[in-house]
Structure 1
């Protein structure tokens, strides 16, 4: 399908990036359950001076117009760290990416994908995967199940018809990511309770909250565990020092110590679980705007996010302990302690775990054991160039 009236131009400069972000916001506003994000945060993500992802990536943004009217957008990018990874982990030499995909109709969608492919080929890429916007750690995948409810913090939301448009252009599914819905206002099954009680009798194990007075040290410890624990996972790209520093600064305002646990074995940090209150609930209330009065609601919510849903975006156990009973025991202990704190301190009733790779048998087993249920699915596609 082609349309000679579609023009696709590369984005240049601050004004171009602002237009790119605003087009995405316009598309998001059309979706019933989409949550408007802070525009300032979205601008930072596509700013080479503010997002450390650009320190190891080459990125080109494109805007599509028809008869002078914006009708879509796409990013084409190359993560140079991903090029160095083994192909069996999903990335590897010759792998380019697309993301930030929005289109008015199928003709625009195919024109945008063709333009991204053309740019990637010119950069020497032989394969494209996506959508990834921009990093695997930001918003990976296209939502293919779960459009009937709002996403939690840092999860994408896309209309159902994008799936057909992408697949209709020759893309095939390469990986599926899942999120799990979990009621937390009732105790976990007795099996989990017994596992937790057994761990509490083990004097070698300590489960403790993150120490905010040692924040920089703690976050580096957490991300060291993450880089080790996830190192063989599909799509894994290690955090750089700049990304660790940036993440520490961005996450600190929404981190609640009693919701973020580090597990120690003989005093050594070996596992962690990060939980974030779902800021999307307040962003929806203020329509993603801090001014004139949105900042008041956001700050008040940040101090005490009562009734907030909780999302588990990251957890990990050092690789040397994986596939052992200790690994699952530490996970269940952290989940249970955080569940207790979330319900007691914030009157929370719901949690969401994810995303989880569809071949991560260990995490899927943990989710099944605590009776969590898949509520959203995302697909990452691939295509040879």
Structure 2
């Protein structure tokens, strides 16, 4: 007999976090999330998101065994910015069973409707500032850091329930050795032109991390304005994320574009820590996970180019290409094997073309879906 419950205690929350480990047991491409990080993310009061918005987690059991999970998300900041009545779903995982998926979504949609929301979009884990998108192309390997992974049957399950495409997202892969001499010379000429306009590129100053982050936050919130339902991060949300990333940040992979002391653009890449997480059973750091994490940190040979943004008024000057170029130059110098640039909007040629120009190959696609409720 199947039973749907609202997650309301620590035991149910642990079951919610652990379910993907059971679902993807035996899948060589599955990467477990760190249990502690996921538990804190889903505990009201632990993440700044809960200061302005709310979520409800649901679990579906069959004979005492979890067979599905989902989060209904009411992002009030999103609806204020867009004057909309959008709800979101996230953290969706389910066995390949249409009835089970339907039961989960009906519960999530009813919770959203009770709050006056008329549309549901997803998968979005809180907002597009966090993990989002359904993998629809490129199931041939594990995801990189902070990118989603799901079974191929998820898209048909969602489409059967009436979900339609909202937008597709791209992931590009760059392999070592494809940054041509032509690209190097081209980036050099563009940087010279930028310097004549008093625009310089430099790495982040870790000794002034807080000050640098404040400047980058302003660029981030301006550069992504109205980009795929983008909602500006609150100061606390940005600081929360920045402090998490600081632990794995290489300053050479955080490049700032500056004019007269003002930051006008930036690019950030992080090491692909999924190379380590995939080895940590069920996302537990103890007793051996922490040892694996520390022992393998310096062996990581891939990166994810996570963020790139240039404020309006400085676009189409070549800054985007040069920011990418600087990161790839350091990537090559460190003799790493691959870089993923993700995600980008399917139709955003301003960002996609520079990636393709330096050798990036489109290799994965993700989708945000929507449905009226």
TM range (shorter): over 0.9
Deviations 1:2-39 (A, max 9, x none): xxx32211110322211211113322434331112211
The one of 217, 222, 228 equivalent to 1:223 is: 217
**1:354 aligns to what?**
342
**2:313 aligns to what?**
320
Deviations 1:136-169 (A, max 9, x none): 1221111111111110000010000011001001
The one of 265, 278, 286 equivalent to 1:291 is: 286
C-alpha distance 368-340 of structure 1, shift in aligned 2 (>3 A): closer
| Structure 1 unaligned regions, length at least 5 | 87-91
TM-fit CA distance, 1:67: 2.3
**2:3 aligns to what?**
7
Coordinate RMSD, CA, aligned: 1.7
1:378 correspondence with 2:369: no
TM-fit CA distance, 1:103: 1.3
* In 2: Cα distance, 1:186 partner to 1:178 partner: 20
* In 1: Cα distance, 2:39 partner to 2:22 partner: 14
**1:55 aligns to what?**
51
* In 1: Cα distance, 2:70 partner to 2:288 partner: 32
The one of 333, 343, 348 equivalent to 1:344 is: 333
**1:131 aligns to what?**
123
Segments ≥4 residues shifted beyond 6 Å: none
**2:98 aligns to what?**
106
**1:168 aligns to what?**
160
TM-score under structure 1 normalisation? Answer: 0.91
Check whether the contact 1:153–1:311 (CA below 8 A) recurs between aligned residues: yes
Deviations 1:229-249 (A, max 9, x none): 010212201100110121121
Check whether the contact 2:324–2:355 (CA below 8 A) recurs between aligned residues: no
Check whether the contact 1:185–1:350 (CA below 8 A) recurs between aligned residues: no
* In 1: Cα distance, 2:213 partner to 2:301 partner: 23
1:64 correspondence with 2:60: yes
* In 1: Cα distance, 2:270 partner to 2:230 partner: 21
**1:236 aligns to what?**
230
The one of 262, 268, 274 equivalent to 2:268 is: 274
1:95 correspondence with 2:86: yes
Check whether the contact 2:75–2:126 (CA below 8 A) recurs between aligned residues: no
* In 2: Cα distance, 1:156 partner to 1:195 partner: 32
* Matched positions, count: 369
The one of 192, 196, 203 equivalent to 1:200 is: 192
* In 2: Cα distance, 1:187 partner to 1:129 partner: 38
Check whether the contact 2:267–2:309 (CA below 8 A) recurs between aligned residues: yes
Check whether the contact 1:258–1:338 (CA below 8 A) recurs between aligned residues: yes
**1:40 aligns to what?**
36
| Structure 2 unaligned regions, length at least 5 | none
* In 2: Cα distance, 1:29 partner to 1:40 partner: 20
TM-fit CA distance, 1:192: 5.7
Check whether the contact 1:196–1:332 (CA below 8 A) recurs between aligned residues: no
Check whether the contact 1:100–1:134 (CA below 8 A) recurs between aligned residues: no
Structure 1 stretch displaced more, 23-32 or 144-153: 23-32
Deviations 1:74-110 (A, max 9, x none): 1001100110233xxxxx4111111111112221011
